[in-house]
A and B are shown apart, each in its own frame.
Chain A
Amino acid sequence: MSRFNFRSQFFQLFFALLAGLGLGLVYSWFLSPVTYVDATPAILRSDFKDQYRIVIAASYASTQNLDRARVRLQLLGDVDPVGELSAQAQRMLAAGETFEKARPLAQLATDLNQGFASLPSPTPFTVLTPQVVSTISVTETQTEETVIIEETVTPFPTILFEQTPITPVVIETATPRATFTPVPGPGAPFALVGRDTVCAPGTQAGLLQFMLMDSRRKQVAGIEIIVTWSRGEDRFFTGFKPELGNGYADFIMERDTVYSVRIAAGGAFVSDIVAPACTDPNGMSYPGGLLLTFQQP
């Protein structure tokens, strides 16, 4: 009987503990969960991440500070930041946004791929506040003099010499935060290295495909391509179809229309492009496609 009582008491306590645990979990997970007040950009909702990327790209378009843009993009925790930029630019265009709104994203994707800013860095804003006050210690021997000046930031220089002034050696200690990073100039222009006719029944008729690569044959996203013809012009970027490659872009040609292609950033100009005539196995003629391959030297 006492054994039964002991077991009974044990189970009662055990179930009381379990019930308490359950109540505690319900309260801490559902009734009063942890409230986030210091979130990181990585856990933002996807539409806010898109907005964050737009602002990063717009900021980069202004400062051309590629290192800072790269670090900011890393905050979003994307596995492939460049691919995300390209995909977002593509989504924006597909949603009817203007080309100008998608351009900073594509530009940033391009520059991240090539590793430097395409446009020259802007002149840093000039600030004339820091002045210099110097503390000078002079040690003199018979043949040489050593002067060390440690600078701090305050009023204009007040330099007191105990003897004939000599040329001071200045050791600057004030290090302002770097904002504008000098970057190399734009990359070499693209050149046409391949022009292949694509006759594949079942594919889109008159498909003009582009493949842009850098000097190491790595595909380059975000390169603007301009296609012109007698009645119009179209502009688009590589990398808007990441599934086909970062350096890929395409355009649909109409039959009997002559096109010209130009790579916007000082690239090659290719004229007299028409959809080639292909013949299917039954002897029927159809407009084929073209693959233009561009590469930086």
Chain B
Amino acid sequence: MPRDGYNPSMTSSNLIKMAAAAVIGIALGLIYGWVIDPIEYTDVPPNILREDYRADYVLMVAEAYQKEIDSETAARRLAVLGSESPAVITASTIEYANRNAFAQEEIQILQNLLTAMQTYQPQGNSGP
């Protein structure tokens, strides 16, 4: 007869087997949760956009600035890309543009935007 609280089948060998099974289970769970079916995000902010999309967004802001000449609006549009200053965001985009063979005219309008952002002084909030 087994003593109270003592399971004769729970030997150290069994414990090792159970631990191994648990580790395998954890590994399978991680693979499934990280690789096979990871959490899908659908409502993300723009600050995690891939670098090329960020660059294209900044280029769009620069193109719009060419016509609007409105530093306030341009700075507000750039602000959605993160907490860095608009000038820093534009400068890093120019670096990306130089690395990726953007057209000279595109780099030039990015330079124009950078100049505007470097001299821009925030004046308060208004609409988008």
Contacts and interface: CB of A to CB of B under 8 A. Distances in A.
B26 to A, nearest CB: 4
Contacts of A36: 41, 44, 48
B103 A45 contact: no
Given A13-B21, A48-B46, A125-B109, A61 B60 contact: no
B83 interface: no
A142 interface: no
A62 B63 CA distance: 6
A177 B31 CA distance: 42
Considering residues A20, A34, A72, which has the most beta carbons from chain B within 10 angstroms of its beta carbon? A20
| Main SS at interface, chain A | helix
Contact of B48 (A8, A37, A62, A124): A37
A48 to B, nearest CB: 5
A132 B50 CA distance: 36
Contact of B21 (A16, A25, A28, A44): A16
A177 B106 contact: yes
A33 B38 contact: yes
Interface string B73-85: 0000100100000
A37 B105 CA distance: 29
Given A21-B29, A28-B33, A39 B64 contact: no
Nearest to A125: B105
Nearest to A57: B64
A41 B51 CA distance: 11
Counting chain A residues whose Cβ lies within 8 A of the other chain, the interface size class is 35 or more
Nearest to A24: B29
B80 A21 contact: no
Contacts of B24: 17, 20
Interface stretch (B11-19, B86-94, B114-122): B11-19
Contacts, number: 170
Given A9-B9, A28-B29, A75 B60 contact: no
A23 B30 CA distance: 9
A43 B33 contact: no
Given A13-B18, A61-B67, A72-B56, A45 B106 contact: no
Nearest to B37: A29
B25 A39 contact: no
A8 B60 CA distance: 66
A41 to B, nearest CB: 6
Contacts of A39: 41, 44, 48-50, 53
Given A28-B38, A39-B41, A39-B48, A20 B64 contact: no
B32 A129 contact: no
A58 to B, nearest CB: 4
Contacts of B57: 52, 55
Contacts of B44: 36, 39, 43-45
Contacts of B45: 44-45, 48
A27 B29 contact: yes
Interface of A: 5, 8-9, 12-14, 16-29, 33-34, 36-41, 43-46, 48, 51-52, 54-56, 58-59, 61-63, 72, 75, 97, 101, 124-125, 127, 129, 176-177, 179
Which 9 residue pairs are nearest across A and B when measured between Cβ atoms? A24-B29, A20-B25, A28-B33, A58-B64, A62-B67, A20-B22, A16-B21, A59-B60, A21-B25
Interface of B: 9, 14, 17-19, 21-34, 38-39, 41-46, 48-51, 53, 56-57, 59-61, 63-68, 77, 80, 101-106, 108-109, 127-128
Given A20-B23, A27-B26, 4 more contacts: A39-B49, A48-B45, A125-B109, A127-B105
